[in-house]
Structure 1
C-alpha cells in the first residue's frame, strides 16, 4: 500500500472512530468493504468567513450549535466538490472541533480543516 493510501486509510479510520463522539458525521458503514479504499478528492482549510460563505451558498443557517452547523456545511461542500462520488468530510482540526466538548467549545470563527474523501470500490 502506498504511503498516501496508508495515511488516508489511517485518517479515515481515525475520523470514523471520532465520529462516534462527533455524532456520526461520517456514517458508520462508510467504506467498510475490505476491498474498497478511501481516496482524498479535496482538502480544505477555511477561516470563519470562508465557512460562512460556504454556508450561504448551501443555504445553511448559523445555529446555536456551531459544531453541527459547520459539520453540515463541510458535508455539503464535499458533496459539491465530488458530486458523483458521495464524498465525506474528515475533519482534522481545530482541536475545539475534535474535542469531546466540541458543542461547548467550537465556534465558527475557529475555522475548520480536513479533507473530503470518497470510497473507491474495485471495478468488477
Structure 2
C-alpha cells in the first residue's frame, strides 16, 4: 500500500505542477499578446499623427513650390505640371522598389513580434 500511496502522491504533485505550468503559460501569452497589441496600437497612432502632419507639410511644400516655380518660369500651369510630373516620377520609383520596402517592413516586424 505504501508504494501505491507514494505513486498517487507523486502523480498528484506532477498534476499540480502541470496545472501551474499551464496557468503560467496562459498568463505569459496573455501578457505577450497585450504587449504586441500595445506596440502595434502605439505604432499606428504615431504613424497617423506624424504621417498626417508630414502629409500636410508635403501638400503645403508642393503648392508653394509650384507657385514659386510658376513665378520663376512665368507660367503657373506649367509649374503645376512640372511638380505633378516630379511627384509621379517619385511614385513610380517607389512602386518599382516596393518589394524591397515590403521585405524591410516584414524583417523589422518579425524582429519585433518574435522578440
TM-score (norm 2): 0.25
**Higher normalized helix content (fraction of residues):** 2
Higher relative contact order (CA 8 A, sep 6+): 1
- Judging by fraction of residues, say which structure has more strand: 1
Q: Bigger radius of gyration, 1 or 2?
A: 2
TM-score (norm 1): 0.23
